[in-house]
Structure 1
Amino acid sequence: MEKSIHSNDYLRLIAWLKAGRLARGYSMRDLAVMINEPHSFIGKVETAERRLDVAEYVQYCHALGLEPCEGLKLFKK
């Protein structure tokens, strides 16, 4: 079984999160402050060095004003 962090579905989800961050004009540091994490956390998530767990994913989405269910729909494509 392929590690989920390297799957096309997961990479598509991370790209969606990054696009959401950029569309709102947030830097990695801005988002890191919003979710109370170091900015390196955001960088590692966006380069797929670190996988988000479910709670982190929901927090990440809410900070960006994104609906978590919308991101999960990317797995059905």
Structure 2
Amino acid sequence: MEKSLYSADYLRFCEVLRRLRIERGLTQADVADRLDKPQSFVSKYEAGERRLDVAESRSIAQAIGTTLEAIAAELKW
């Protein structure tokens, strides 16, 4: 079984977060400021280097102006 951190589904999730951030005109630093985290936090989860839990994913969705439900709909899982 493939490691879930690097699974195609997880990397797709990271890509969606990145695309939505960019579509909203936000930089990684903007999102990091909203989350009270360093910019490297955003960089690492967008690159798939850091695994997000559900609570973090919800906070990130809010920081980029969306919801987990909207993100899940885009993933079409």
TM-score (norm 2): 0.90
Comparing 8-17 and 65-74, the one that deviates more: 65-74
**RMSD over aligned Cα atoms:** 1.2
Post-superposition shift, 1:65?
Answer: 1.1
Which consecutive unaligned segments of at least 5 residues does structure 1 have? none
Equivalent in the alignment of 1:68: 68
Post-superposition shift, 1:12?
Answer: 0.9
Which consecutive unaligned segments of at least 5 residues does structure 2 have? none
Post-superposition shift, 1:70?
Answer: 2.4
Map 1:7-46 onto structure 2 (within 5 A): 7-46=7-46
Q: Secondary structure at the match of 2:66?
A: coil
Identity %: 41
Q: Equivalents in 1 of 2:46, 2:36: separation in Å?
A: 16
| Runs (4+) off by over 6 Å | none
CA 1:28–1:44 in 2, change beyond 3 Å: closer, same or farther?
same
TM-score (norm 1): 0.90
